[in-house]
Amino acid sequence: MSVPATYPADPVPSPEATGSAIRTSRLLKRYGAIEAVRGLDLDIVRGEIFGLIGPDGAGKTSTFQILAGVMEATSGTVEVFGKPAREARSQTGYLTQTFSLYPDLSVAENIRYIGDLRRVAPAEIAERGLRYLKMFDMDRFADRLAGRLSGGMKQKLALVCALVPEPKVLLLDEPTTGVDPVSRREFWDALAHLAADGLTIMVATPYLDEAERCHRVALMHLGEIHQTGTPAELRAGLHAKRLELRTTELAKAEQLLTQDAGDGREILDVQRFGDRLDLLTVDPENTTKYVEEKLKSPQLQISEIQTREPTLENTFVATLRSLGQEIRPEPFPGRYDHTDLRGQIAIGATQLTKRFGAFEAVKHVNIQIRYGEVYGLLGANGAGKTTTIKMLCGLLAPTTGEIQLAGETGSLRSQSVRQHIGYMSQKFSLYDDLSIEENLNFFAGVYGVPESERERKRNWALSFSGLEGKEKQLTGSLPGGWKQRVALGAAIMHEPSILFLDEPTSGVDPLARRAFWNIINRLADLGTAILVTTHYLEEAEQCNRLGFMVAGELVTEGTPSEIKNRQEGHLIEFVVDQPQGAADLLKQTLERWRVSLFGDRLHVVTDESAQAGIQSTTTQLAKHGIQVLGAREERFSLEDVFIGVVEKARQQGKVASED
Amino acid sequence: MKRLFNHRFLALIQKEFAQIRRDRRIAMSLILPPVLQLMLFGFVLNSKVQNLRLGVIDESRTPESRELIARLSESESFRLTSYYLSPDALTDAITHGKAQAGLIVPYDYARNLQRGRQANVQFLLNAMDANTATIARTYAQSVIASYSANLQSSGLHAEFSQIAVPDVGRRGRVDLQPSFLYNPGLVASWFSVTGVLGLLCILNGSLVASATMVKEREAGTLEQLLMSPADTSEIVLAKIVPLFLLLCMMALFAIGIMRVVFHVPFHGSFMLVFAGAALCLLSGIGIGTFIATFTQSAEQAQLTSFFVNPPMSSLSGALTPMEAMPHWMQPLAKFNPIYHFGVICRASMLKGSGIETLWPNFLALLVFTVILVSLSVWRFRKQLG
Amino acid sequence: MRRILAQTRKELIQILRDRLALALVLVLPVCILLLLGSSIALTVSHLPIIVQDFDDSSISRELVDVFRASTSLYVTSWPTDRQPQDAFMTNKARAALIIPEHFGRDVLRKQSSPVQFLVDGSDSNTASLVAGYATAIVNAYNAIHSGATSPQPVQAQIRLWYNPGLSSKKYSGPGVFVLAMSMFAPLLASLAMAKEGEKKTILQVYVSSISAHEFLLGKILAFTLVGLAECVPLLVLLHFYFGLSFVGDPSSFFVATVLYSFCVAAFGIMVGAAIPSRVAAMQMVALGGFLLVFLLSGLIFPIDNIPIQIRWISNLVWGKHYIYVVRDAFLQGGGWPSTWLEVLIIGFTGLVFYTLAWRTMRRMQVKA
């Protein structure tokens, strides 16, 4: 189906042509004995979106604080538009990782305060504030308290505040953590727009799908930068292709193919997703044959095998591996096997409804999750995900509807039920003021893991977290991503047959995330039912089945492929000579969500056939003097599907868009 | 009960202890307040009227006037600071606090005495502090009265006795002989530290308890705990038991300070005082837990406790005598555990009273404790469930 | 200047939005002044005493009646066969008057007749008071019955200045007023300051290149205003419930009040800047505001009674100087001549706190 397109070299402006916006040299930051930033050399070009990609604890926040001029470097130099960072503060806008505005001030009051602090004239504060609020479609909320906004809106407000003094550089430290996909896309659309207007943007993110939307990307790990380049360059630098393999028995296929995967082999890497395996290889044609051969003997049915470009994630996994960062935990020392339960319903809900006063948070939801299944529950902020999970695991009583949990329908809070449940909640599931070891001991004790097994389980959890030998360390001193690993380890020590994971991988680096999903798949193979929520749809591909929640309703359910195939219309990727101009133009005639900018590429969703869509768009753009350099149909990503679903629901008036 | 002592409960208790061990603030608030409050209250809160600064205008400048001045300033209550020449200067000194009392001996003082006439002196007192003034007035009166009596009886001023009307009194003098029981030296700190102990138990108990109880909700770990098989009563109990034990140690420590530093006598049973303190601690834990159920963070809990603690301590009779309160307030104190503990503590330590006289206070304390603890545990459990 | 006002406006909006904070500065101080001001007093009247009359003659009954007539003491009878200590044990009485047998007879024989007065000394101050009251009663009795016509050679005319009614309320009212002023505004100030650090909003301030002076002054100004707002209902209560009004020129009081509000606000901000944890900062302010001002400032207990070794500390306690000014304004009326030094000291202490706060904040950077 895909129309082959040859991309021109990415039109990244060169430093010589436009000059550097930010230049650092041998930047070093030491906290006591720890070196958070180790000799950073950056050269960020004016007008580009520069992505700093790295897990928690990589040194991103320290870097940002130094660039923003709010912290002194131990050594090294920073220049922002030719001035030391501290003197360039009036030209810098800085969004901190956590929401750093005042929740008890209204939107307008926050803008006014920041504007006043930065000596913007009152009339200009009002004018610019309104302009940017309009740009982000937030002008209706000027009087709302900032604390009452959703995560995405808060970040947009923070962006507005940062923009009111009209800075030349924006420093964004993980601006989209905890923000749902719809808001994230809007946020990135706004960034693309600002960059096109000449603003230099440096943005940190732990997520690689966002990295695709940057002009250039750098991978940061343990205080050092390991790779820099455009996304395309980085992908090309891997010198490999990706094979998507769909087969009936993923677990078995994975096992077979992993055996002889590795550097220098036929297959470089195997990764399992919800309904496919991804194989990395240098020579796709030969490997295809090899795989077909290999799977013939156990008679595994190959339903599809396709060659694709590698993802950025593939690149970074390869880089991290070459740095020796891979964690190879011992196999989980599970004693119990829940495979006998396989196929039975673990979590079931019929007509589940929850009302808070007049507000219906969850409306008639029906869910059935079987033992051995990984089910992903997705939804925007406020869609009712958290409420649903709380009801399913018995923390919250439903208004109406029935729930079945581990075979129990009556008292979900009984001890015997909870004994079978593992639960890892959003951010805090460990005690910060206990050591890692004490935390593990506590969870082992409270769940009654037998004395004889505790040692082994604890060691496993430590090796899984990569924290062997650090068990005396205080949990609170760990970066978020590491804490998450310990938390997962703690949550499964008692071998639950049902596992609730509420955004388990936020802040976790790609390699560790793979380890996470490895163990999740392993547990599912043992018959455990797993319910996962995430904001990152790339990750959702790893689930067996997905459910999309919109405004309290479960609107779509199915395997990732099913859901993607169900999506109507076509996604077309254009390469044009004026990406931002094209996007702005198309947004005038098409709904906003149908057009988005990915770096230098333009994604357009059309309901016509692919060819017709390409033609009509090309002619429309040509009329305004914009030349289309290449176009091809792309597969919908889950994110595209998700946004489409939410937007359609919004059009049908189901979603009262944030009020 | 047996069901409680299982592996879960053990794990919960161990966790609490480990957290407490790490929490330097808890350790601080178990040691610092007893030391600081006992010391400060014990050493500083001293209402004894002594060494009041006396300013004098001696217009008479005679041996007689100097004798009167010597009598006053030799007493424990007054200390002669300086002489002034004019009433204005003395007034100024009293207004500026350089002198607290003033004596004006008129120029005709000695002459009047010598002629057997009554001699008037003026005694000025800065009465802003009503307590000091009341006591100082009595002292001044009795010093001057006894000086007068001396004049009458001794032969020194025979002229006066001769001229004075002979003793026509119909009766003999009544001679009041005060003696102070239990605290013959009138040591002020015995009163204050015995009161502070109750304040410590309740207020510190409630502060530490509210912080501990709200902590889990603030950190977001509560949900995780609720998903575990642990029962809500196990969770609550596992929080209260270590707190209670630690606070008991604090109470013992405080009692130790009272004994060693302030030499408070222990006439009664130590167990009685300790049992009262334990009940107070439980009441304090109850109050703290109750506050915690209404708040979302340690900050809020502490702010809220400002609405509870000052009224409770001021209506307790712990630092000032109960009878000093307005009459309409006095019955309120009967609903205050601090008041009952204060009674128990003082009566037992200083007077050696036993349970046979103190049982009503004990009963009241017990009732409050049971009510507070069960109310707060009920609310806490309801929130968990 | 504009940045200072922006900072002030922001703080005030935040306070107005926070109901707990509002209650804390507007409602709670009033309650505390009402409760503490009228209950923390040492002067006690109507103290219960018991009488054991072993004589039971007309003379002894006459003496008892004199005791009964007193408003300071309140007499209940106690059976002669019970130990008077029992009454002390159960707190039924503060003292016991024991009239021995043959008392009446001895008095009539013009002999000096002792009566025993047992006082429960466990509360030393009240014990002194009771003994004083009883002595005064007996002196008066003697004056009437044993030497009525003989004038005392020396007669003292005692004048009670500034509080002739010896009302404790008038003494403790201003004290508790100062206590309330020392507590709540700085408490909120320290919270607001520590919160900026805890919630990382301080980063936005740092990046805005506002100077430490502007930032601190803006915040302090806001909480000075909060303190002044707190002061209004308290003054109303002092006037109507405590019966206090200005004696003489109140201008030094007003200047001192503004300076004191600034001083305590600066104290709160300083603590919040130095301790970036809200709970710890709050405890610190509570310690400084409550314990120091309550104990070391002469609020109820005379400073002169503080052991000499630590008395000098009280000169460093900012509340002490303000209490002096407040009492002067309401009771003595000395005005500027007698209070200028205190007013200066209050202002100076505020400057010291401000400077310390500025020293912690001056770099306006993340400390690492």
Neighbouring-strand partners of residue A553: A550
Closest CA–CA distance from residue C165 to any residue of chain B (Å)? 8
Measured CA to CA, the distance from residue C143 to residue A394 in angstroms comes to 85
Q: How far apart are CA C247 and CA C266, in angstroms?
A: 30
Separation in Å, CA of B218 to nearest CA in chain C: 13
Residue A300 has a pLDDT of: 80
d(CA A255, CA A362): 40
How are strands ordered across the β-sheet holding A553-558? A421-424, A498-502, A529-533, A374-379, A545-550, A553-558
| C13 domain residue, yes or no | yes
Looking at chain B, which subunits does it touch, using at least 3 CB pairs closer than 8 Å as the criterion?
A: A, C
Helix (H) or strand (E) holding A312: helix A312-322
pLDDT attached to residue C263: 96
Closest A-chain CA to C205? A117
Lowest mean pLDDT, pick from A9-23, A329-343, A465-479:
A9-23
The nearest alpha carbon in chain B to A492 belongs to B228
Pairwise CA distance, residues A178 & A150, whole Å: 10
- Give the residue from chain B lying closest to C330, CA to CA: B128
Mean pLDDT of A625-636: 86
Domains of chain B, with CATH numbers? 23-45+186-384 (no CATH), 52-146 (3.40.1710.10)
- C250 within a domain of the structure (yes/no): yes
Residue in B361, B365, B349 with CA at minimum distance from that of residue B189: B349
C264 contact partners, CB below 8 Å, separation of at least 6: C181, C182, C185, C186, C189, C227, C289, C318
**CB contact set of C337 (below 8 Å; sequence gap of 6+):** none
Structure token pair of residue B240: 């209260």
Mind listing the pLDDT tens digit for each residue in A142-191? 999 998 888 888 888 999 999 999 999 999 998 887 788 888 888 888 88
CA C168 from chain centre, in angstroms, equals 10
pLDDT of residue A256: 84
According to DSSP, the β-strands at A269-272 and A200-205 are unpaired
User: CB–CB of C226/C220 below 8 Å?
Assistant: no
Note whether C273 and C335 are same-domain residues: yes
Q: Which of A473-482, B84-93, B163-172 has the lowest mean pLDDT?
A: B163-172
Q: Three-state secondary structure along C144-158?
A: HHCCCCCCCCEEEEE
Nearest to A425 among B224, B229, B231 (CB): B224
Please tell me the distance in Å from B228's CA to the nearest CA on chain A.
6
In the predicted model, is pLDDT for residue C357 greater than 70? yes
C215 touches chain B (CB under 8 A): no
Query: HSE-up of B55 (CA within 13 Å, CB side)?
Result: 22
Residue C305 lies in a domain: yes
CA distance A21 to chain C (A): 17
Instruction: Report the range of poorest mean pLDDT among A254-268, A600-614, B89-103.
Output: A254-268
Cβ–Cβ of B229/A425 closer than 8 Å?
A: no
> Is C232 buried (19+), middle (13-18) or exposed (0-12) by CB count in 10 A?
exposed
Partner residue facing A423 (CB), from B7, B18, B224: B224
Chain C residues with CB-CB distance to B346 below 8 A: 122-123
Query: Quick check: helix, strand or coil at residue C75?
Result: strand
Neighbouring chains to C with at least 3 Cβ pairs closer than 8 Å: A, B
Same domain, C118 and C258: no
Does residue C177 sit in the same domain as residue C291?
yes
**What is the tens place of the pLDDT at every residue in C49-75?**
999 988 888 888 988 998 998 888 889
Say if C153 falls within a structural domain: no
The count of other CB atoms within 10 Å of the CB of residue A71 is 21
Q: Check CB contact under 8 Å for A446 and B229.
A: yes
Tell me: do C23 and C74 sit in the same domain.
no
pLDDT at A307: 87
CA A649 to chain centre: 23
C156 → closest Cβ in B135, B144, B350: B144
**Cα separation, A122 vs A160, whole angstroms:** 15
Q: Select the residue of C121, C129, C161 nearest B180 (Cβ to Cβ).
A: C121
Lowest-confidence range among A11-15, B223-227, B334-338, C211-215?
A: A11-15
CB contact under 8 A, C205 and A113: no
Whether A109 and C201 lie within 8 Å, measured CB to CB: no
Smallest CA–CA distance, residue A419 to chain B, in Å, is 6
* Residue C12 token pair: 């005030």
| pLDDT for the residue numbered A1 | 34
Number of domains making up chain C: 2
Residue C152: its pLDDT value, please?
Answer: 65
Is residue C328 domain-shared with residue C213, that is, in the same domain? yes
Beta carbons of C147 and B169 less than 8 Å apart: yes
Distance from the Cα of B292 to chain A's closest Cα (Å) equals 19
**CB-based contact A105 C200, cutoff 8 Å:** no
Q: Where are the alpha helices (DSSP H) in B45-165?
A: 63-74, 87-95, 109-114, 130-153, 158-163
- pLDDT per residue as tens digits for the range C69-124: 888 888 988 888 888 888 887 788 889 999 988 888 888 887 778 899 999 888 88
Query: Mean pLDDT over all residues of chain B?
Result: 84
The residue-averaged pLDDT of B269-292 equals 93
Q: Is residue C156 part of a domain?
A: no
Q: Is C160 on the interface with B (CB under 8 A)?
A: yes
Residues of C near A (CB-CB distance < 8 A)?
A: 2-3, 5-7, 9-10, 13-14, 17-18, 199-201, 203-210, 364-366, 368
Place of tokens 């769909």: A246
> According to the model, what pLDDT value does residue B1 have?
41
Are C106 and C26 part of one and the same domain?
no
Residues C211 and C331 in one domain: yes
| Banded model confidence at residue B3, pLDDT cuts 50, 70, 90 | low
Question: Does residue C22 lie in a domain region?
Answer: yes
Kindly report, residue by residue over C127-152, the tens digit of the pLDDT: 888 888 888 888 888 877 765 445 56
Contacts of A43 (CB under 8 A, 6+ apart): A15, A20, A22, A23, A24
Residues in chain B: 385
Q: Does residue A267 surpass a pLDDT of 80?
A: yes
* SS3 of A391-438: HHCCCCCCCEEEEEECCECCCCCCHHHHHCEEEECCCCCCCCCCEHHH
Under an 8 A CB cutoff, do B142 and C135 touch? yes
Reading the block at residue A111, the tokens are: 């803008």
Whether residues C198 and C279 share a domain: the answer is yes
Residue C158 maps to a domain:
no
Report the pLDDT value the prediction gives residue A106, as an integer from 0 to 100: 94
Q: Look up the domain containing C81 and give its range.
A: 47-146
pLDDT in the model for residue C147:
59
**Among C196, B342, C72, which Cα is nearest to A96's?**
C196
In a shared domain, residues C74 and C189: no
Q: Cβ–Cβ of B23/A433 closer than 8 Å?
A: yes
Residue pair C237/C320 in contact by the 8 Å Cβ criterion:
no
Judge contact between C250 and C343, C-beta under 8 A: no
Q: Where residue C108 sits, what CATH number does that domain have?
A: 3.40.1710.10
Q: Is the Cβ–Cβ distance between C103 and C115 less than 8 Å?
A: yes
Q: How far is A537 from chain C (nearest CA, A)?
A: 30
Together in a domain, C206 and C305? yes
How many A-C residue pairs are in contact by the CB < 8 A criterion? Answer: 77
Query: What predicted TM-score, i.e. pTM, was given to this entire model?
Result: 0.85
Q: Which of C201, C202, C208 to mutate to test the interface with A (most CBs of A within 10 A)?
A: C208
Taking Cα atoms as reference points, which of A384, A329, A337 lies closest to residue A361? A384
Beta strand extents in A426-533 (DSSP E only): 498-502, 529-533
Final residue of a structural domain among C146, C174, C191: C146
- Please, what is the angle between helix A579-589 and helix A610-623, to 10°? 110
Query: Are the beta carbons of C200 and A96 separated by less than 8 Å?
Result: yes
Which among B224, B296, B299 is the top mutation candidate for probing chain A, defined by the most A β-carbons within 10 Å of its own β-carbon? Answer: B224
Q: How many residues would you count in chain C?
A: 368
Q: List all chains that touch chain A, counting a touch as 3 or more CB pairs closer than 8 Å.
A: B, C
| Statement: residue A97 has pLDDT above 70 | yes
CA distance B82 to B53: 9
Please report, for residues A428, A433, A467, B62, B217, the alpha-carbon distance to residue A476 in angstroms, rounded to integers and kept in the order given: 10, 6, 14, 81, 16
Segment C288-315, tens digit of pLDDT: 777 778 777 777 777 777 777 778 888 8
Q: What pLDDT was estimated at residue B170?
A: 61
pLDDT (mean) for A494-516: 85
Q: Identify the band that residue B260 occupies on the pLDDT scale cut at 50, 70 and 90.
A: very high
Q: In A, which residues are within 8 Å of C200 by CB distance?
A: 96, 98, 100
Last residue of a domain, one of C146, C177, C207: C146
Classified as helix, coil or strand, B34 is helix
Chain B residues within an 8 Å CB radius of C283: 25, 29, 302
Within a domain: C157? no
Q: Which of residues 89-148 of A touch C (CB under 8 A)?
A: 89-90, 92-94, 96, 98, 100-102, 104-105, 109, 112-114, 116-119, 145
Greatest alpha-carbon span in chain C: 95
Query: B116, exposed or middle or buried, with CB in 10 Å at 0-12, 13-18, 19+?
Result: middle
Helix ranges (H only) for chain B are 7-22, 24-44, 63-74, 87-95, 109-114, 130-153, 158-163, 188-199, 205-219, 222-227, 232-260, 270-294, 298-314, 330-333, 337-346, 355-384
Backbone torsion region of residue A598, taken as left when φ is above 0, otherwise alpha when ψ lies between -120 and 50, otherwise beta:
beta
Check whether A7 has a pLDDT greater than 60. Answer: no
Q: Do C126 and B323 touch (CB under 8 A)?
A: yes
Which residues on chain C are in Cβ contact (under 8 Å) with A109?
Answer: 10, 13
C97 and C230 inside one domain: no
Cβ contacts of B337 within 8 Å, gap of 6 or more: B198, B202, B279, B280, B283, B364, B365, B368, B369, B372
- C-alpha distances in angstroms, C196 versus A247, B236, C189, C275? 55, 33, 11, 11
The answer to whether residues A167 and A93 touch, using CB atoms and an 8 Å cutoff, is yes
Q: How far is A189 from chain B (nearest CA, A)?
A: 33
C31 and C74 both lie in a single domain: no
Select from A89, A109, A113 the Cβ nearest to the Cβ of C207: A89
Give the model's pLDDT for residue C159.
77
Interchain contact, B385 vs A444, CB within 8 Å:
no
